[in-house]
Structure 1
Amino acid sequence: MPKIAIVISSTRPTRFADKPTTWFYALARERSDLDFEVVDLRDFPMPFFDDVASAAYAPTQHPEVARWQQKVAEFDGYVFITAEYNHAPTAVLKNAMDNAYPEWNKKPAAFVGYGSVGAARAIEQLRMIAVELQMAPIRTSVNIQGADFFGAWQQGKALEDMDHLQPSVKGLLDELAWWTKALKTAREASVPVAAD
């Protein structure tokens, strides 16, 4: 079964990210066509990118980065749970993306954003970054914004009770399943077969 990483892209001690991650993971696990695993960037502390060249051209010299690259390579697609800091994705997520390259290639990327505008501006930037990493960013995202975000963050409201978010979750997961299978099939078809 295709494996999907749900990447928590904030590492702050007071982060909100755990709430949408727990909520989204529970919904994703209801599917029988994809296997999901939460990957927390707190578990992969890396230096800011300082290798001799992009991972597209040279192997890393950092054991922490190599461990991250090996983890990224395990998956057939990714859902990024993302905040928005100053109209942009988190620095730790951008760094994590920069510290790998072939491991991301030809795999789908999906986004669950939260904040006053549901991280819409951060997600737009992440889509451009994903394209440069030869990923296929899908159209539908989940944007936890406005009253929903402030309710869950400050007022004790549960994302599980926000039924109006369900259609975007379903749309995201349906598109992710389609792209994951299509790209996995294409990647496997392009692997050279060893001669007997």
Structure 2
Amino acid sequence: MLRIGIILGSTRKGRNGEAVANWINNFAKKRNDEATYELVDLLEFNLPFLGSAIPEAMQKVTESNVKAWSEKMASFDGYIFVTPEYNHATSGVLKNALDYLNPEVNNKAAGFVAYGSLGGARAIENLRLILGELQIADVRTAVTFSLMTDFENMTEFKPASYHEDNSNQMLDQVISWSSALSVLRNK
């Protein structure tokens, strides 16, 4: 059974990402897959910005948080990154969290669920570059939610039903690639 982590890539107060991440998590769990899904919220890890000075009193807590993040990501065979688009890119906290990783995510697959004024398309393209450096294979199909049409008043998530087809395609691809890449991970 494959394990797929659904990574909520925003920690902003009032974030739209929580509703989006819950939607894709619930959607994925209703499928009859050879996979289990787990929602992972970056807010729960409290990662400092990589390279920032950490007060001595906080160093053990910080080390523990970074270790927990690394172990959580290592436990998955693939990922679905739920990302907002901020200033034509993914969120700073998701980029920062990815900067703490490398060997524990190599040779795994990833799909994307994004939201923004243009459906988060530019955030996805930004993530494709970052994940390539981490040796994570990203799948072609992405799920993109527009703040204009899939959110009421840009805050209440009300996705159109046509997103289900893209979601199924993206999940199928993540499962296929995660399974195929297991050969490399198990060498």
Does TM, normalized by the shorter one, top 0.5? yes
Aligned pair 1:20/2:20, yes or no? yes
Whole-Å Cα distance in 2 between the matches of residues 132 and 144 of structure 1? Answer: 26
Aligned length: 177
Give the superposed CA RMSD: 1.7
How many angstroms does 1:104 deviate by? 1.0
- Which residue number in structure 2 is paired with residue 172 of structure 1? 170
**2:99 is aligned with 1:98:** yes
The within-5 A match list for 1:50-69 is 50=51, 62-69=63-70
1:33-83 deviation line (CA, Å, top 9, x unaligned): 1100000000001111129xxxxxxxxx82221121111111000101100
User: Scaled by the length of structure 1, what TM-score is found?
Assistant: 0.85
Q: 1:85 to 1:187 in 2, by over 3 A?
A: same
CA distance in structure 2 between the partners assigned to 1:24 and 1:175 by the alignment: 15
Paired residue type of 1:131: G
Distance 2:157 2:144 in 1: 16
- Distance in 1, matches of 2:113 and 2:119, equals 8
State how far apart, in whole Å, the 1-side matches of 2:124 and 2:157 are: 24
Q: Which residue of 1 aligns with 2:40?
A: 39
SS in 2 for 1:89: coil
Give the deviation of 1:151 after TM superposition: 2.8
Displacement of 1:144 after TM fit? Answer: 0.4
Aligned equivalents of 2:172, 2:141: Cα separation in 1: 9
| Distance of 1:123 and 1:89 partners within structure 2 | 7
Query: Partners of 1:20 and 1:95 in 2: how far apart?
Result: 21
Q: Which amino acid aligns with 1:180?
A: S
Deviation at 1:186, TM superposition (A): 3.0
For 2:7, the aligned partner's letter is V
Task: Show the counterpart of 2:127.
Answer: 126
Letter in 1 for 2:63: H
Paired residues of 1:138 and 1:176 also in contact (CA < 8 A): yes
On the 8 A contact 1:5/1:37 being kept in 2, the answer is yes
Q: 1:47 to 1:146 in 2, by over 3 A?
A: closer
TM-score by length of 2: 0.89
Could you tell me how far apart the structure 2 residues matched to 1:34 and 1:3 are?
A: 6
Q: Distance in 1 between matches of 2:153 and 2:41?
A: 21
Q: Is contact 2:150-2:158 (8 Å) kept?
A: no
Q: Check the 8 A contact 1:152/1:158 in 2, yes or no.
A: no
- Residues 146-185 of structure 1 correspond to what in structure 2 (within 5 A)? 147-151=148-152, 153-154=154-155, 156=156, 158-159=158-159, 162-185=160-183
Please say if residues 72 and 104 of structure 1, whose CA atoms lie closer than 8 Å, have aligned partners that are also in contact. Answer: yes
Instruction: State the 1:152 CA deviation.
Output: 7.1
Contact 1:118 1:146 in 2 (8 A): yes
8 Å Cα contact 2:20-2:82 kept in structure 1 = yes
Whether contact under 8 Å (1:115, 1:149) holds in the other structure is no
Q: Which residue of structure 2 lines up, in the alignment, with residue 193 of structure 1?
A: none
Give the distance between the partners of 2:37 and 2:23, measured in 1 at CA.
Answer: 13
**Structure in which a larger fraction of residues adopt strand:** 2
Q: Which runs of 4+ in 1 moved over 2 A?
A: 146-154, 156-159
Matches of 2:153 and 2:179 in 1, distance apart? 33
